[in-house]
Amino acid sequence: MAAIPREEPLLVPPQHFSDDQSFHAEEEDALLTGERAQRKHAERRGWSFWKEIGLLAWAVIATILVIILGVVYQHEASKPNQASKDTWGPGGKPSGKRNLIFMVSDGMGPASLSMTRSFRQYTEGLPIDNTLILDQHYIGTSRTRSSSSLVTDSAAGATAFSCGFKSYNGAISVLPDHTPCGTVLEAASLAGYKTGLVVTTRLTDATPACFASHANLRQYEDSIAEQEVGENPLGRVVDLMLGGGRCHFLPNTTSGSCRADDRDIVEVASKNGFNLVKDRAGFDALNGGTQAKLPLLGLLAETDIPYEIDRRSQNDVYPSLEEMARTALTALSEATKDSEHGFFLMIEGSRIDHAGHGNDPAAQVHEVLAYDKAFAAVVEFLEKDSTPGVLVSTSDHETGGLATARQLHTSYPQYLWYPGVLANASHSSEYAAAKLSEYSAGAGKLANESEKKAYIRQTLLEKHLGITDASDEEVKALLHPQPGLSPGYVFADIVSRRSQIGWSTHGHSAVDVNIYASSTKDAWPLVGNNENTDVGNFLANYLGVDVKDATKRLQASASWRVSSDEVSTQSDYHWMGDPLGSDVRADGLDTYHGDFKKRSLDDCGCGGLH
């Protein structure tokens, strides 16, 4: 009988296991029998155990590093337009002779476009797909904050465009440390380009000032006028200027002057070679720019050129933005036809902003339409001109907190707004307020209460604003305005309520604004969402000019002074004005400090600075 092989106990490991395997088997025995494994086997694990611990630690560290690198990569890749800022797209970065036209729609936000588009379609009987020229050239948006506030003013906004740097509200091409920064216009001039400024406000107002002057505060318009005609460390850098603001160029001994001194800046301009144009007749003599002789200074209004809604009935007195733009383009093109360099021209639809400050929707739609026509004129010029060029357009900020909607009652509102109310207005609220002031100072002095109310109803409200159902309370508010409450605001509110257009402020807002271009091919770096400084950097990069060199020249002239300045010892950069002339926050945001109550009526905060 064959021997029966002895069965191995189930819990006894085979003898051919390695020492490590044997140890692990004994550990299993210990778990099942409750007996501790032999100590000698535990001593054998030293090198293998620590090797495994090391490998585990390295795996953990490597995993952490991979996670960190992944997070960093994702953060960098998610930065807005990170790739596009260094990529010029089809055709690459331009070279050779070229022109650049930069347009600023001051105060125009996205809602302004919506309101104007619907207004135009209503008044001209157009289908809903017939849009503005601007709509057809939209390429991106711009973030607008300044160094001192999430809500910028025009000075800081334009400084971002001209210098490519953030600065504080009120700064005219000055950095937060109160040193001057060179502008793209100055750099272009130094490089051999011809340059120009076209605006519908004062030539000394914030936006044009930021391209051709430097001031610690935008209020220093007398100094800005001096610098624009050549009294600054770089000398004359502008070849053509068309706009308003004559009063800042005339001595205070002259009628129509708003200067604080008796300096004649028109005479200074003449000595620096400027040819002067002071009215519509002089402008017409330029023959659309073909007869213009540079340098040219066109002071076409005492202060601001009237709103387009009012200007159109005074066409024999003031040219339109489109006319000025076409004239400037032709003049600069003629002046550079035999040059290896082209030109840089800044065109501003300035008074879109003012209509926003006044909360006047009727004035604003006509300002935006005028800007759209000027934009179209520039596009047409570029299409026909033999020199390559690009048009870029954006806003420095939005004004008014405009909404194409308004809730008039406590009950839930209907979804409506009425462009027909705006179409009925033949003039702006500013115009109506000026007429009321004239009446009150003249014929109104001898009129009784009933006659005054009739004048307001029939002439101002019905004839000028198209309002036929004014309430007694509204007429009373105009006839006996509350202290500090501008009649212009009352007129504008009467129109806004009936059209159901809403406003949240008489100041600016922090909303992103649109960017437009003649083609995405030439403005590829601005496609998408951008910082406003990206716009400024694009302008310099497109032209290939050295803004840093202009800055170095300006900062090397810290003690520069005009020839008429007889003071021998002055602080550095005194020519830019006192940086402490008002309460200026240069850097860092303010915080909430209990200001939530409705302010008094005499504290509107508008102050005339936009």
Would you list the DSSP string of 144-190? Answer: ---SS-SS--HHHHHHHHHHSS---TT-BSB-TTS-B---HHHHHHH
The answer to whether 489 and 358 are in contact (CB under 8 A) is: yes
Distance in angstroms between the alpha carbons of the first and the last residue of the chain:
117
Report the distance separating Cα 173 and Cα 167, nearest Å: 8
Tell me how many degrees the CA angle 268-271-275 measures, rounded to the nearest 5.
Answer: 95
The answer to whether 185 and 191 are in contact (CB under 8 A) is: no
The answer to whether 534 and 443 are in contact (CB under 8 A) is: no
Report the distance separating Cα 591 and Cα 245, nearest Å: 36
Three-state secondary-structure class, residue 57 = helix
- Parallel/antiparallel/unpaired status of strands 389-394 and 240-244: unpaired
The answer to whether 533 and 459 are in contact (CB under 8 A) is: no
Tell me how many degrees the CA angle 157-88-186 measures, rounded to the nearest 5.
Answer: 45
Which residue blocks in 36-90 are alpha helix, DSSP H? Answer: 39-44, 46-77
Instruction: Compute the half-sphere exposure of residue 568: CA atoms within 13 Å on the CB side of its CA.
Output: 0
Report the distance separating Cα 467 and Cα 465, nearest Å: 6
Report the distance separating Cα 383 and Cα 400, nearest Å: 35
Spatial CA neighbour of 110 closest among 138, 129, 81 = 138
Q: Any residues with CB less than 8 A from the CB of 264 and at least 6 apart, and which?
A: 249, 250, 251, 254
Q: At what angle do helices 361-384 and 110-124 cross, to 10 degrees?
A: 90
Q: Residue 240 is which amino acid?
A: L
**CA 563, 566, 568, 574 torsion: positive or negative?**
negative
Active-site choice (147, 148, 154, 257): 154
Instruction: Compute the half-sphere exposure of residue 476: CA atoms within 13 Å on the CB side of its CA.
Output: 3
Q: Any residues with CB less than 8 A from the CB of 15 and at least 6 apart, and which?
A: none
Backbone angles phi, psi at 583, to 5 degrees: -75, 100
> Exposed, middle or buried: residue 312 (CB in 10 Å: 0-12, 13-18, 19+)?
middle
Q: Any residues with CB less than 8 A from the CB of 381 and at least 6 apart, and which?
A: 326, 329, 333
- Parallel/antiparallel/unpaired status of strands 240-244 and 194-202: parallel
> Exposed, middle or buried: residue 91 (CB in 10 Å: 0-12, 13-18, 19+)?
exposed
The answer to whether 141 and 515 are in contact (CB under 8 A) is: yes
Is 154 annotated as catalytic? yes
Tell me how many degrees the CA angle 217-220-223 measures, rounded to the nearest 5.
Answer: 125
The residues that are catalytic are 154
